[in-house]
Amino acid sequence: MLTALSLQSPVYIVVTISLGLLVKAPHALGIVTASFLFLYYAAFGCTWGMVPWVYQFKVNSGLAHFFAIFNLAFMFVVYFLYLETANRTLEDLEAYFDRDSGNGIIISIRDKVAKSTLRP
pLDDT tens per residue across span 45-92:
887 777 665 555 555 556 656 766 776 787 777 777 777 777 878 887
pLDDT for the residue 54: 54
Q: What is the CA radius of gyration of the chain?
A: 23
Residue 105 pLDDT: 62
Q: What is the pTM of this model?
A: 0.43
| Cβ neighbours for 53, distance < 8 A, ≥ 6 positions apart | none
More confident residue, 7 or 111: 7
- Domain residue limits, the chain: 1-59, 60-120
Q: For 18-35, write each residue's pLDDT tens digit.
A: 888 988 998 998 899 899
Specify the pLDDT at position 27: 92
Q: What is the distance between the alpha carbons of residues 26 and 35, in angstroms, rounded to a whole number?
A: 14
Check whether 3 has a pLDDT greater than 70: yes
